[in-house]
Amino acid sequence: MATAGIIALAIGTSGCGDSGKDKKTEPALSASNMDTTIKAGDDFYKFANGNWLKNNPIPDEYSRYGAFEVLEEENYTQLKTILAEASADKNASEGTVNQKIRDFYNSGMDTVKIDKNGISPLKAELDQIDAFATKADVQKMVILQHASGNYPLFYLFSSQDEKNSNQVIAMTYQGGLGLPDRDYYLGDDARSKEIRASYLKHMAKMFVLAGSTPEQAAKDANVVMTIETQLAKISSTRLELRDPKANYNKSDLAGLQKIAPEMDWKAYFDGIKLQATSEINVGQPKFISGMSKMINSVPVADWKIYFRWDLINSAASSLSSDFDKEHFAFYGTVLSGAKEQQPRWKRMIDQTSNSLGEAVGQLYVQKFFPPEAKKRMTELVNNLKVSLGERIQGLAWMNEATKKEAEAKLVKINVKIGYPDKWIDYGSLTIGTDSYYANKKNARQFAVNRDITKIGKPVDRSEWGMTPQTINAYYSPNMNEIVFPAAILQPPFFFMNADDAVNYGAIGMVISHEMTHGFDDQGRQYDKEGNLHDWWLADDSKNFEAKTKVLVDQYDSYVMLETLHVDGKLTLGENIADLGGMNVAYNGLQKALNGKKDKNIDGFTADQRFFLSYAQVWRANTRTEETMRRLKEDVHSPADARVNAIVYNIPAFYAAFNIQPTDKRYIAPENRADIW
């Protein structure tokens, strides 16, 4: 599902493994991870990380294994101590957060009970679907499922009004697909065909597990495929979803009723208990309108099969191990190449962390987040804000009037570090010992109720879009804010005691990357208040587009797996943020060094350590399936491109490593990309 309004540093990591090392005793940079047989000018990513990549093959549970995943491992170890304590706490009184964490985690670990129950936790909902007879019943099912936080067909959630960022309104968003992208249904390429064939087999297997005969299961799988292919055809592409204006179509209830007349929207909003329906952003009108036509054209008997599949598929990992394993075989192995499932305790840490995110987060920061880290981060952010301001002032391609606006937006960027000031109150969430599925459903219901309640009210600016235990960071264009959860404030991103060069190359770059998102091809369309409003002179917009075109072309020609290319347009926002992030962080480092002579550490100059530290953050081994998946779905470029497609655009890099025109990746100064 789309997380509205958040632009993250990286997509979520998955999988696990054992690093077995205590990274805190390791130096911030280690020459033993490099491969100096490769020239820095030929492949800086491999030069900086070659030996690490050779010495760290991907563990079976992973589809990708790199700096993020190694840190994720440490995170699991930390969270395990929290959950071990909580799960053994027999004295936690009923209704307390400790009781909820304990019972949620324990119910998920009780595989004997889960296996014994098989598919029975879904019985009531499956019976409801069986009882369908009319088109009106199809709508009733949408309402029942959406009200419980499961989303067949489309999503509805709260969203800041793109043109009045103080106000929360409702937003509809395309959905309804079992495969992670519309293109998999429609593509003629070998990989899409292979995925479709595997998906059909997978659905059939799941239907058999749910009690169908193999013949019926195969037929039903085809019915689902037909419906989802129709939905795919009316879905926007990922590129189209990146256009804020195209996805802002504010309407009222009557307007929505006109766009999608086959749904009774009044009944829908009443059913999901949404009172304030005066303003709705219809994210993708083409989808909602096409879906409405399908409600009429698809036979009720086929809808029953579709809803049955949606329910089984979305619940699979909470059901008995036969469902869970088959679900993983498709989504983990076929789509991402992981060879084996994570141990259950790790998956249950993730699930507890999802369902009771800030409750776990509160315990996490109490135990593992040192207050000094927040102080050091605040200093870094302030220095880098000044640094970006200087870069903006120095831009030759921008008029003074636009610079002034940009500066005003920069000054207004709000900063959140570590954890929220105000925690979510889980008081109304019931978690018991009876059923893991019921616990998950209750948690989902709690989250959706919380979300729906926000609609029609002013924005609560204290809220966070990620939990403190998430290894990531984000920029929100509507909030005009940058957010750094506690978990990313650790090596190899953040070193409490390392030299400035290493920190500016890692967390300094992350901070600058997030700030630059306010000025990327999407972010620049929002003003300092977070409203979709053009504050650019026409000339400056033209210059910006010409400048970004250089970057689009560079990434379009970046080859992966011999024949595949990075999508320069899909990844543009992230690439602008990476390039701006590095330029701003480098400028920040020079200010921090304040003309002090380069101090060589372990044989490297400060500038060299800056670039090596950056490369280290992105080191990762990735399975072929996962690389293909990410090239299609991820707005972030692959790990090696995040290094190699960036550094050769930066003049200081050439000086730091004595890169020559004869080197493979040398770019002549006039062809280098330079935006922020």
Q: What residues line the site for Zn ion (CB under 5 A)?
A: 9, 574, 577
Least distance to Zn ion, CB of residue 391, Å: 18
Q: C-beta of 157: minimal distance to Zn ion in Å?
A: 22
Residue number, 283 or 581, with CB nearest to Zn ion: 581
Q: Which is nearer to Zn ion, 2 or 601 (CB)?
A: 2
- What's the CA gap between 641 and 238, in Å, rounded? 20
Q: Which two tokens stand for residue 502?
A: 């290493």
Coil, strand, or helix at residue 257? helix
* Between 7 and 204, CB nearer to Zn ion: 7
Minimum CB–partner distance for residue 635 and Zn ion (Å): 8
CB of 106 to Zn ion, least distance (A): 37
Closest by Cα among 74, 335, 59, 68 to 184: 335
Distance of CA 459 to the CA centre of its chain: 22
CB of 435 to Zn ion, least distance (A): 39
Residue placing its CB nearer to Zn ion in the complex, 395 or 577: 577
Q: Which is nearer to Zn ion, 53 or 509 (CB)?
A: 509
Q: Which amino acid is at 45?
A: Y
Rounded-to-10 torsion of CA 98, 101, 103, 105 = -150
Question: What are phi and psi for residue 338, nearest 5 degrees?
Answer: -65, 140
Q: Which tokens belong to 203?
A: 């659905």
The DSSP call for residue 330 is I
**By CB neighbour count within 10 A (0-12 exposed, 13-18 middle, 19+ buried), where does 541 fall?**
middle
Compare residues 225 and 615 and give the one whose CB is closer to Zn ion.
Answer: 615
Q: Which is nearer to Zn ion, 577 or 592 (CB)?
A: 577
Q: Can you name the residues that pair with 390 across neighbouring β-strands?
A: none
Q: Toward Zn ion, which CB reaches closer, 303 or 544? A: 544
CA separation (Å) from 609 to 31, 488, 586, 613? 11, 20, 11, 6
Closest separation in Å from C-beta 529 to Zn ion: 21
- Kindly report the backbone phi and psi dihedral angles of residue 243, in degrees, each rounded to the nearest multiple of 5, phi listed first: -95, 105
Query: Is 39 or 391 the residue whose CB approaches Zn ion more closely?
Result: 391
CB atoms within 10 A of CB 89: 13
Q: Which of 53, 577 has the CB closer to Zn ion?
A: 577
Q: In this structure, what is the dihedral angle of CA atoms 487, 492, 496, 498, given to the nearest 10 degrees?
A: -170
Among left, alpha and beta (phi > 0; psi -120 to 50; other), residue 286 is alpha
Minimum CB distance to Zn ion smaller for 560 or for 577: 577
CA 298, CA 615: separation in Å to the nearest integer?
51
Give the pairing type, strands 280-282 and 164-174: parallel
- Cα gap 460→458, rounded to integer Å: 6
Chain Cα centroid distance, residue 500: 29
Of 2 and 329, nearer to Zn ion (C-beta) is 2
Q: Which is nearer to Zn ion, 310 or 520 (CB)?
A: 520
d(CA 450, CA 656): 51
The span from the CA of 123 to the CA of 132, in Å, is: 15
Q: For residues 8 and 156, which CB has a smaller minimum distance to Zn ion in the complex?
A: 8
**Alpha carbon distance 256, 266 (integer Å):** 10
Nearest approach, Cβ of residue 631 and Zn ion (Å): 17
Q: Whole-number minimum distance, CB 517 to Zn ion, in Å?
A: 6
CB of 145 to Zn ion, least distance (A): 32
Quick check: helix, strand or coil at residue 482?
strand
Instruction: Tell me which DSSP letter residue 421 carries.
Output: S
User: Positive or negative CA dihedral for 433, 437, 439, 440?
Assistant: positive
If we measure between CA atoms, which residue out of 523, 421, 505, 409 comes closest to residue 468? 421
In the bound complex, what is the minimum distance in angstroms from residue 513's beta carbon to Zn ion?
Answer: 6
Q: How far is the CB of 67 from Zn ion (least distance, A)?
A: 16
CB of 239 to Zn ion, least distance (A): 17
Q: How far is the CB of 474 from Zn ion (least distance, A)?
A: 7
Q: Please give the C-alpha separations between residue 628 and each of 63, 201, 322, 326, in angstroms, as whole numbers.
A: 11, 21, 28, 22
Q: Which of 413, 394, 393, 395 is nearest to 404 (CA)?
A: 393
Minimum CB separation from Zn ion for residue 569, in Å? 16
Smaller CB separation from Zn ion, 42 or 633: 633
Q: Are 68 and 10 in contact (CB under 8 A)?
A: yes
Element (H, E) at 156: strand 154-161
Shortest approach of Zn ion to residue 59 CB, angstroms? 26
- Count of other CB atoms within 10 angstroms of residue 84: 12
